[in-house]
C-alpha cells in the first residue's frame, strides 16, 4: 500500500524564520508534486518534480526530490504571513498517473 506522510502536520512559525516540511513515501515513484490549499479553496500547484535530484525554487519556497530516499522537502525561507496555508505533497503512483496525497502540513506564520 502506498503511503505518503508529511512532517510536521502543524507548523506555527514566526515571520522571517526558515523551516522545512518533509514528505516521505513508501514506494517507488519518480514524480512528486507540491500544492498549496487556502481555507475553503481548491489546490494551487507549486512545484512539479520529475526526477531524482530535482530542485525547484519560486520566491521563498524551494522543493527538492530524492527518489532513492523516497523523500521530498519543501523549504521555506524568511517566512511571511501570506505563506499561511495548508501544503500537500502528492506522489504519482508509478505508471498509473494517479496521485496519492500526503497528510498535509498546516502552516501558520505569525506576524
Partner 1 sequence: GAVVSQHPSWVICKSGTSVKIECRSLDFQATTMFWYRQFPKQSLMLMATSNEGSKATYEQGVEKDKFLINHASLTLSTLTVTSAHPEDSSFYICSARAGGTGQETQYFGPGTRLLVL
Q: Does 43 bind partner 1 (CB under 8 A)?
A: yes
Smallest gap, in angstroms, from Cβ of residue 99 to partner 1? 6
Q: Pick from 42, 68, 95, 111: which binds partner 1 (CB under 8 A)? A: 42
The Cα 59–Cα 76 span in angstroms is 9
Tell me whether strands 32-37 and 43-49 are parallel, antiparallel or unpaired: antiparallel
Q: Which of residues 65-84 bind partner 1 (CB under 8 A)?
A: none
Instruction: Tell me, residue by residue from 2 to 41, as one string, x for binding to partner 1 by CB under 8 A and - for no binding.
Output: -------------------------------x-x----xx
The CA-CA-CA angle for residues 70, 56, 24, to 5°, reads: 20
The Cα 104–Cα 34 span in angstroms is 10
Tell me which residue has cell 494517479.
98
Q: Does 103 bind partner 1 (CB under 8 A)?
A: yes
Amino acid at each position: 500500500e502506498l503511503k505518503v506522510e508529511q512532517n510536521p502536520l502543524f507548523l506555527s512559525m514566526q515571520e522571517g524564520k526558515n523551516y522545512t516540511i518533509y514528505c516521505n513515501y513508501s514506494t517507488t515513484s519518480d514524480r512528486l508534486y507540491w500544492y498549496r490549499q487556502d481555507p475553503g479553496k481548491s489546490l494551487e500547484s507549486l512545484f512539479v518534480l520529475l526526477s531524482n535530484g530535482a530542485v525547484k525554487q519560486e520566491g521563498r519556497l524551494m522543493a527538492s526530490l530524492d527518489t532513492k530516499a523516497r523523500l521530498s522537502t519543501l523549504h521555506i525561507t524568511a517566512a511571511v504571513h501570506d505563506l499561511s496555508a495548508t501544503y500537500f505533497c502528492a506522489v504519482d503512483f508509478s505508471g498509473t498517473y494517479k496521485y496519492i496525497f500526503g497528510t498535509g502540513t498546516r502552516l501558520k506564520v505569525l506576524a
